[in-house]
Amino acid sequence: MSNKIRLGILGGGGDSLIGVLHRIASSMHDKYQIVGGVFNPVWEENIGFAEKISLPTNRIYKDFDTLVEEELKLPVEERMQIVSILTPNFLHFPMAKKLLENGFNVICEKPMTTTYEEAKILNATLKKSKTIFAITYTYTGYPMVRQMREMILNGELGNIQRVDAQYYQGWINPVIHDKEQRANTWRLDPKKGGISCCIGDIGTHAFDMLEYVSGLKIESILADLNYLYPDNKMDIDGTVLLRCSNDVRGVICTSQIATGEENSFIVKIYGDKAGLKWEQENPNFLYLMEDGQPLRVLKPGHSYNSQLSLDGSKLPPGHPEGIFDSMGNIYKGIAKAINNEPYNHGEFPTIIDGVRGMGFIEKAVESHQKGNVWVEIENVD
Amino acid sequence: MSNKIRLGILGGGGDSLIGVLHRIASSMHDKYQIVGGVFNPVWEENIGFAEKISLPTNRIYKDFDTLVEEELKLPVEERMQIVSILTPNFLHFPMAKKLLENGFNVICEKPMTTTYEEAKILNATLKKSKTIFAITYTYTGYPMVRQMREMILNGELGNIQRVDAQYYQGWINPVIHDKEQRANTWRLDPKKGGISCCIGDIGTHAFDMLEYVSGLKIESILADLNYLYPDNKMDIDGTVLLRCSNDVRGVICTSQIATGEENSFIVKIYGDKAGLKWEQENPNFLYLMEDGQPLRVLKPGHSYNSQLSLDGSKLPPGHPEGIFDSMGNIYKGIAKAINNEPYNHGEFPTIIDGVRGMGFIEKAVESHQKGNVWVEIENVD
Amino acid sequence: MSNKIRLGILGGGGDSLIGVLHRIASSMHDKYQIVGGVFNPVWEENIGFAEKISLPTNRIYKDFDTLVEEELKLPVEERMQIVSILTPNFLHFPMAKKLLENGFNVICEKPMTTTYEEAKILNATLKKSKTIFAITYTYTGYPMVRQMREMILNGELGNIQRVDAQYYQGWINPVIHDKEQRANTWRLDPKKGGISCCIGDIGTHAFDMLEYVSGLKIESILADLNYLYPDNKMDIDGTVLLRCSNDVRGVICTSQIATGEENSFIVKIYGDKAGLKWEQENPNFLYLMEDGQPLRVLKPGHSYNSQLSLDGSKLPPGHPEGIFDSMGNIYKGIAKAINNEPYNHGEFPTIIDGVRGMGFIEKAVESHQKGNVWVEIENVD
Amino acid sequence: MSNKIRLGILGGGGDSLIGVLHRIASSMHDKYQIVGGVFNPVWEENIGFAEKISLPTNRIYKDFDTLVEEELKLPVEERMQIVSILTPNFLHFPMAKKLLENGFNVICEKPMTTTYEEAKILNATLKKSKTIFAITYTYTGYPMVRQMREMILNGELGNIQRVDAQYYQGWINPVIHDKEQRANTWRLDPKKGGISCCIGDIGTHAFDMLEYVSGLKIESILADLNYLYPDNKMDIDGTVLLRCSNDVRGVICTSQIATGEENSFIVKIYGDKAGLKWEQENPNFLYLMEDGQPLRVLKPGHSYNSQLSLDGSKLPPGHPEGIFDSMGNIYKGIAKAINNEPYNHGEFPTIIDGVRGMGFIEKAVESHQKGNVWVEIENVD
């Protein structure tokens, strides 16, 4: 009998890229075995996909409720230990909630819910269930992001005095200028995507990343969002001024109309001793800047890195790893938690990250709608 | 008799770096001859410096007023045609004003004046004098900045939809955290440096550059400045939200406490057809981004560049030129204007740029002091 | 019953990095299932490792011969379809030979054998067995390497006129200068590592890569190798002049004493229409150079790439993939061959690549020993 | 009376780029005054050019011999102190020889002569004249090249164990494939360009640079040159294996058919302690690599640089300087020598560099013609 963690999957069938990402990530460290799930609401597609990826089909269920019902009938040592939710956003909340209430551990894609209210409810649910809940802010799994976090926690930058995140994409550009396309893209439809497109989709990554690496809390924000067309309901670009704990200031610049940008997520943290810079499209380079010193470029796998970072690279320096490896690291951390092994809190994002992210989205929209004024981000625990 | 333009210099003696920059720039294209000036208020230093750089000393004057007086006695064909003002900031205004009133052309270092009010007076003076006034926003002389401007003017980016400038330095970091040092640095002394340090010194470059390359006017701003210590009177970091003409949004991020940064001035302009990116520390590379196309990297000296850009590089591609060459290009453009030759309006910044820059500084401080609210930048002509 | 390809593994247990690489690569596209193998000659380690990675232990065999014997007893539809050889180099040849003779398909780590003679025997064996034999020159799986190949095959560079590969590492530097260490490192021991260290280990990658991307054959070489110390038996640095088909010239520069280099493998191909450059440590960037045109930077996942390249990236542009993904692509190609699906010959390296690589090593040493003279690389089919 | 060094110029008129480079370089540090010369053999062009650049015309001579004759009539304190030779290559030798014989200091563009024999004669002449002779290997004036040299001299790399220079251009590509063009380009005409094109033009830069930064002497070489077409008399591509003093090995790769390359001159030196890398197209970055340490990127103007390097940058870090500044540094060093001030031997290249360069060209061609065999580079003093 395998001692791998029994993993169920919700969604992620067909051509889903997020499905590929989670399946590969889960398999990377020999820690998980996919035992079943619901890949698709249409039964033929669901079972067909399971066959296509050569899964045993006995635990492919017709729908989510059946999955919960049937799995609960199984003895606990056979039952799914954790379920990954990769479904459309509006399903995250009800699925996660029911799973938690029934004692399952959960891995949830972002955004965690469609509203901040739901996020807080989920947090309350988790407190009762005492299971494990992880949200996949994938970029936090990169070894050099982890190194950034550890260096800052260890005081290598001194007191932080400026934080700066840029997340620029261009993919909405060809969509937004066509009236029909912008009316029919789900990302721009509040019914499907919530109240925000750009801030919700990528701004939250920036928000989470700044808190992850700096150890600061973002306490209040002032947002200026851009919708470009009056008939467009969702922001597709925005700048957010930040006030963080310890009176640190900063900014998040996001855009999905930065034409020609692919996935340009750049993070810069400056302290009174040194600064650090990281770019997602070149994730294996971390730039350390000090007054009057040569720029230093840190790379994964070197012994000068922290244990948290080293734990996130599999090969010696000079062998580039990428985003699949980053997600694999997050799954690896979750496995440690499931298996009651010691782990570093930087190994995977938790529900608090998810709740704060939802708070950020709503507050950014609120700040904008009130005329670009400061609004507070609630504290959550 | 030389047909070079007769140039006078005010300030820039001793170890002045700005003096070196202007002297080399003026000599680069065989267009100017330095005929005299006042390098230093102390006579021995003044005359000594002239001798050190092997200038004839007959037109080295004991002070500015004497220079004006004596030069006016010379026949017009011997008189200084243009005077470069490289003195401490508070002298820019009175010197420039008197020079203009007496019919001299003027090249003025930035900041043009110490207040917006002075800037407007100078503009009025210039309108009467009908001479030429240039302000040395040096970075606009780089060939790839010029190329950026021309491409945007030619519509190669389509309609602009986001502008973004970052200007990060770290040099104040070692100063700001030492109570004594921050009390004694002239840049942080409102009596010497005006009402702003970071915005005044580098924010204005970002402001001017965005207007220079995009062809847009920045119409209103919302600034969040950082002073770090209550006893520090001058901003040393700040973020400014922008509303430009054509309803374009953007941001200027500036800091002088971005520890370890040297002179990281980055400009990004995104249109609905393409985007452009440029970095001052690698000034010979211009990045053109288009949806679904390979990134293109343009470099100086290639025939694919505009005439304005080509006019700013002296050697074939692959032979890097730098900031002296950039300033040299500005002097070259001014020479064309002096000599009544046709020139491109992108060849040198004018008093309008200077006035707008002063307006930007005052409005940024005002926006911050009022609690980070939108304030308008006046239109100037 | 799973329709995945039944994969056996030889070696790669314990802390083996190559084992991790192959296991993850094999799992990436849902095409393989590891059904058994021999991870270690010591039984406890062998079975212990299988348990650690949660494999069923029924087909973990005590040694290679038993594996062959027992697998042959299984019905063909249960039998291992392909076996990956990840053992120490000297075992590659006997294992591969026996596997081929018994009808198994084989994936073999490089170097394929320890001598050129063995390589040719293996080739002859394969011709009889008519199974599939792949050698894992991992770097050929990168999407931008594949793109390079396709562009050249499509004539986008015109006629090739110079090829250039650099492969620099620094890892032997701390070893080579210590008499004891250099005597005891297996890589520097001809009994364990064959007749060459640097050329054998990384020079072969360069050799194979140049042939892979350019479509040329390297016909003769002139090598200058460096051993640094008289008591060192194995080259640790070398330069190899190349004469290729179509009278193309070029060079391979390799070193393992390039102190501080990690895994700096750079490939440049110049034709009469354009040039291409690629660097392994930044594998998602391919540089296209043309006379008088902006440099173009191609990245994975864009529709401007060839089908072969696109088939090698799983996520949209801007989501970096790495070396595990590269090896995964090779496994994916092999799966197509096993399953009799159509595939591009660029999808995985074959025994011919392996044989040529072994020929290159022996000829490089011969050229050096004869006083840096030209020697021919035999043609193999 | 000016205390500037009285400089004469031979050649460099009209549209000459090298003329611009030398004039600007000579003016950069307020050390030289151009007092006369011969810009062009055609009198109207000669005098016209002098007027165009606003020089006094009284010492513009009709030809070189007149210049020498007339200048010798002037009292020594008015006479030209140094003459820069920027004429076509075949004139370098007779002009330099006569100038030296008549007691003038000389700055000579490369190649110093058209044959090695001439170079040795010039060296003998200089020994008698005891004047100063500088050859303008421009790239040695870059501050980070100088830093490289000083770090290596100071032992920061330990014992050198590999040297590597690449110098790739693509400009001959459009010429070489057109029969008529290749017959009519002066660079490819042995009567005008000597016996080598690529090695002579850019290979010598690589040769000189390796010796300049490493402090080693290149003692023997094995060259493989490429002419591409039988009717082409001059190499346009070549690789040269190197044996240096201290038994160090290395390679020079050069090409002028590296299509799309502009001026890609890259230098890498590896010692047993560390490695250094520099690229001419990004000349303000110097990469220091050490085993197991972060890559360090050094930039000009920082106090961590050597005095020789700091002396070569005029502005604070982050203000890019370029090739004009590099040449300016060489002129500055020569001025020190002329003025009998102390200077570092790294400040300008001397006749020994010129002689060795000519030796390198002839030996490279000899090695190639003899079938790619080792030939020795003579020692010169």
The verdict on C338 touching D (C-beta cutoff 8 Å) is no
Q: Are residues C157 and D259, on separate chains, in Cβ contact within 8 Å?
A: yes
* Structure token pair of residue B181: 């040092």
Residues C288, B296: C-beta atoms closer than 8 Å: no
Q: Do A260 and B274 touch (CB under 8 A)?
A: yes
Is the pLDDT reported for residue D271 higher than 90?
yes
Find, among A316, A351, A323, the residue nearest to A337 by Cα: A351
CATH code of the domain covering residue A104: 3.40.50.720
State the smallest CA–CA distance between residue B219 and chain C in angstroms: 34
Residue range C208-266, pLDDT digits in tens: 999 999 999 999 999 999 999 999 999 999 999 999 999 999 999 999 999 999 999 99
> What would the mean pLDDT of C361-381 be, rounded to a whole number?
96
Q: Name the residue facing C374 among D226, D257, D372 (closest C-beta).
A: D372
Measured in residues, chain D has a length of 381
Core vs surface per residue D303-342: b (16+ CB within 10 A) or e: eebbebbbbbbbbebbbbbbbbbbbbbbbbbbbbbbeeee
Q: How far, CA to CA in Å, does B95 sit from each of B64, B90, B357, B362?
A: 8, 9, 19, 22
Q: Answer positive or negative: Cα dihedral of C128, C132, C136, C140.
A: positive
Is B313 at the interface with chain D, CB within 8 A?
no
Residue D241 pLDDT > 60 = yes
Q: How far is A373 from chain B (nearest CA, A)?
A: 8
User: Residue D342 falls within a domain, yes or no?
Assistant: no
pLDDT for the residue C381 = 86
A161 touches chain B (CB under 8 A): yes
- In the predicted model, is pLDDT for residue C1 greater than 70? no
Mean per-residue pLDDT over chain C, rounded? 96
Touching chains, A (3+ CB pairs < 8 A): B, C, D
The answer to whether residue B379 sits within a structural domain is no
Ranges assigned E (strand) in chain C:
5-10, 32-38, 82-85, 105-108, 133-135, 160-168, 218-226, 237-244, 249-255, 264-271, 275-279, 286-289, 295-298, 375-376
Token pair for residue C283?
A: 């594998």
Instruction: Specify whether B127 is located in the same domain as B172.
Output: no
| C281/C360 same-domain check | yes
CA distance B272 to chain A (A): 6
Residues of D in contact with A294 (CB under 8 A): 288, 296-299, 302, 304
Q: What is the pLDDT of residue D312?
A: 97
Domain C-terminal end among C106, C138, C170: C138
Q: How far is CA D21 from the centre of its chain?
A: 13
Query: Facing residues of A269 across strands?
Result: A163, A276
- A44 CB-contact burial (10 Å; exposed 0-12 / middle 13-18 / buried 19+): exposed
Q: How close B149 comes to chain C (CA, Å)?
A: 17
pTM listed for this prediction: 0.97
| Three-state secondary structure readout of B63-116 | CHHHHHHHHHHCCCCCCCCEEEEECCHHHHHHHHHHHHHCCCEEEECCCCCCCH
The nearest CA of chain B is from the CA of A190 a distance in Å of 23
Phi-psi region of A103 (alpha: psi -120 to 50; beta: other; left: phi over 0): left
Chains linked to D by 3 or more Cβ pairs within 8 Å: A, B, C
Q: Which residues of D touch C222 (CB under 8 A)?
A: 222, 224, 372
Q: Which one, of A143, C333, D31, D189, lies nearest residue B23 by Cα?
A: D31
* CB proximity list for B304: less than 8 A, separation 6 or greater: B298, C292, C293, C294
The answer to whether the CB atoms of B292 and C298 lie below 8 A apart is no
Q: Rounded distance, CA B118 to CA B111, Å?
A: 11
The C-alpha of A283 sits at a distance from chain B's nearest C-alpha, in angstroms, of: 19
Mean pLDDT of D285-292: 97
Q: Please list, in sequence order, all residues whose beta carbon lies within 8 angstroms of the beta carbon of residue B335, skipping any fewer than 6 positions away.
A: B5, B29, B31, B32, B341
Write the burial class of residue C265 (CB in 10 Å: 0-12 exposed, 13-18 middle, 19+ buried).
buried
Closest CB to C281 among A54, A262, A320:
A320
Task: Provide the 3-class DSSP secondary structure of residue D67.
Answer: helix
In tens, the pLDDT along C181-208 reads: 999 998 999 988 889 999 999 999 999 9
State the amino acid at position D146 in one-letter form. R
Chains with 3+ CB–CB pairs under 8 A to B are A, C, D
**Domain tally, chain A:** 2
User: DSSP states of A189-232 as a string?
Assistant: -HHHHTT-SHIIIIIHHHHHHHHHHH---EEEEEEEEE-SSTT-
Average pLDDT rounded to a whole number, residues D11-25: 96
Min Cα distance B190 → chain D (Å) is 24
D32 & D173 share domain: no
C160-173 b/e with 16+ CB inside 10 Å = b? bbbbbbbbbbbbbb
Q: How far is C349 from chain A (nearest CA, A)?
A: 20
Question: Would you say residue D201 lies in a domain?
Answer: yes
Sequence letter at residue D161: Q
Query: Which tokens in the block code for residue A99?
Result: 């799973």
Residues 15-44 of C with CB under 8 A from A: 17, 20-21, 23-24, 27-28, 30, 33
Lowest mean pLDDT among B137-146, C169-178, D184-193: D184-193
The pLDDT tens digits for D203-237 are 999 999 999 999 999 999 999 999 999 999 999 99
* Length of chain C counted residue by residue: 381
Q: Specify if A363 maps to a domain.
A: yes
- CA trace torsion D11, D17, D18, D23 (10° rounding): 80
- One domain for residues B155 and B86: no
Query: What is the reported pLDDT for D3?
Result: 83
Say if residue A85 is in the same domain as residue A103.
yes
A295 interaction partners in chain B (CB closer than 8 Å): 260
Query: Are the CB atoms for C286 and C299 separated by under 8 Å?
Result: yes
Q: Which one of C162, C166, C260 has the shortest CB-CB distance to D257?
A: C162
Do D58 and D187 fall into the same domain? no
Residues D165 and D114 grouped into a single domain: no
* Distance from C-alpha of B60 to C-alpha of B208, rounded to nearest angstrom: 34
| Mean pLDDT, rounded, for C44-73 | 96
Q: Out of C138, C156, C185, pick the residue that ends a domain.
A: C138
Query: Is the Cβ of B292 closer than 8 Å to some Cβ of chain C?
Result: yes
Q: Which of B292, B293, B297 sits opposite C295 (nearest CB)?
A: B297
Contacts of B1 (CB under 8 A, 6+ apart): none
Q: Which of C3, C20, C262 sits opposite A299 (nearest CB)?
A: C262
Contacts of D325 in chain B (CB under 8 A): 322, 324
Same domain, B107 and B176: no
Beta-bridge mates of residue A6: A33
Radius of gyration for the alpha carbons in chain A, expressed in angstroms and rounded: 21
CA distance C78 to C101: 19
- Domain check: are A156 and A120 in the same one? no
Q: How far is C275 from chain D (nearest CA, A)?
A: 5
For residues B211 and B246, what is the distance between their CA atoms, to the nearest angstrom?
13
Please check whether residue A263 touches B, CB under 8 A. Answer: no
pLDDT in tens, D289-315: 999 999 999 999 999 999 999 999 999
Flag if C157 and D270 touch (Cβ within 8 Å).
no
Q: Which of A177, A249, A257 sits opposite B162 (nearest CB)?
A: A257
Tell whether D219 and D134 lie within a shared domain: no
Averaged pLDDT in 10-residue chunks for chain B of 381 residues: 88 95 96 96 96 93 98 98 96 98 97 96 97 97 98 98 98 96 92 91 98 98 98 97 98 98 98 98 98 97 98 97 97 97 97 97 98 96 86
ipTM above 0.95, yes or no: yes
| Surface-to-core class of residue D271, CB atoms within 10 Å of its CB (0-12 exposed, 13-18 middle, 19+ buried) | buried
- Residues C84, C172 within the same domain: no
Q: Does A201 touch chain C (CB under 8 A)?
A: no
Rounded to 5 degrees, what angle do the CA atoms C229, C234, C237 make? Answer: 80
What is the C-alpha R_g of chain D?
21
Asked if D259's CB is within 8 angstroms of C161's CB, the reply is yes
Tell me if D322 and B318 make a contact (CB, 8 A cut-off). no
Segment A236-255, tens digit of pLDDT: 999 999 999 999 999 999 99
- Give, for A117, the enclosing helix (H) or strand (E): helix A116-129
Task: Report yes or no on C380 lying in a domain.
Answer: no
Look up residue C89 and give its two tokens.
Answer: 């180099």
Backbone angles phi, psi at B325, to 5 degrees: -65, -35
pLDDT for the residue D337: 97
Residue type, A31: K
- Taking CA atoms, what residue in C is nearest to A31? C53
Residue at which a domain ends, from A138, A157, A187? A138
Task: State residue C227's pLDDT score.
Answer: 97
Tell me whether residue A237 is in a domain: yes
Separation CA B322–CA B320 (nearest Å)? 7
CATH at A255: 3.30.360.10
Burial A141-162 (b: 16+ CB within 10 A, else e): bbbbbbbbbbbbeeeebeebbb
Under an 8 A CB cutoff, do A291 and B259 touch? Answer: yes
Predicted local confidence at residue C266, as pLDDT:
98
Per-window interface: D 106-125 vs C, CB < 8 A:
none
Binary contact (D295, A293; C-beta < 8 A): no
In a domain, A360, yes or no: yes
Residues A306 and A205 in one domain: yes
**Residue range of the domain that includes A230:** 142-315+350-369
Taking the C-alpha atoms of residue D1 and residue D18, their distance in angstroms, rounded to an integer, is 29
Instruction: Tell me whether residues D296 and A294 touch, CB distance under 8 A.
Output: yes
Q: Which residue has the tokens 């010492």?
A: D59
Contacts (Cβ under 8 Å, ≥6 apart) of D112: D92, D93, D96, D119, D122, D135, D351, D354, D355, D357, D358
- Residue A327 lies inside a defined structural domain of this protein: no
